[in-house]
Amino acid sequence: MKPKLKKTAVNYRSRDFEDSTINAIKYAFRLLGYRDRSEKEMYERLIQKGFSEKITLEAIDYLSDKGFIDDRRFAEVLRKDAVERKYFGRSGARNYLLNKGIAARIVEDILGDEGDYIDAAKRLVEKKIRNMKNIDAETVRRRLWGMLARRGFSYDTINKVLKSYDSKEE
């Protein structure tokens, strides 16, 4: 027979919280169990669940103080995801982070310069070009240009990547 494990409880009582604040914190932990969230996203979810603004702010303050919600850390993870998995350029990554509720000042701090996104653009071009074997070069170039622009790559980055593509083709 398995021994029963004791549940270790976080000491919420040390801050003299009301029961409803404790419930908000517990709900927030449940949400954080699925994935990290920004302060804005957590605020919206707690309000949507029916907690008052005061209780929601107390819960978010507690979670931020203890390091469970950290917008800068969350933004760095999302930026890496945006560039390496979703193949976004600088402005595409910026929009992605802002849509996830990250503050604009944090977004600008972690985005880096346009040169950091050239590898993502090259990988995306290599991935997409495999499906364009029977298409003339000008059409391929136009399609790649449009795709890179829609993903938020700058004019300079697109030119650099497509020049390297043109030189490989010749």
Q: How much is the pTM?
A: 0.77
User: In 3D, which of 111, 109, 110 has the Cα closest to residue 88?
Assistant: 111
pLDDT tens sequence across 103-117: 999 999 999 888 789
Band of residue 118 on the pLDDT scale cut at 50, 70, 90: very high
Q: Which residues of 40-76 are buried (b: 16+ CB within 10 A; e: fewer)?
A: ebbbeebeeeebeeebbbbbbebbeeeebbebeebbb
pLDDT tens column, 137-164? 889 999 999 999 999 999 999 999 999 8
Q: List the CATH code of the domain at 12-65.
A: 1.10.10
Task: Report pLDDT for 170.
Answer: 55
Q: Give me the pLDDT at residue 20, please.
A: 86
> How many beta carbons lie within 10 A of that of residue 116, not counting itself?
15
- When pLDDT is averaged across residues 33-58 and rounded to a whole number, the result is 93
Contacts of 123 (CB under 8 A, 6+ apart): 87
Average pLDDT for 71-82:
93
CA distance 100 to 111: 15
Q: State the residue for tokens 């003299």.
A: 16
For domain 116-169, the CATH class is mainly alpha
Q: Is the pLDDT of residue 14 over 80?
A: no
Closest by alpha carbon to 32, among 62, 76, 6, 53?
62
Q: 3-state DSSP helix/strand/coil percent for the chain, to nearest 5?
A: 70, 0, 30
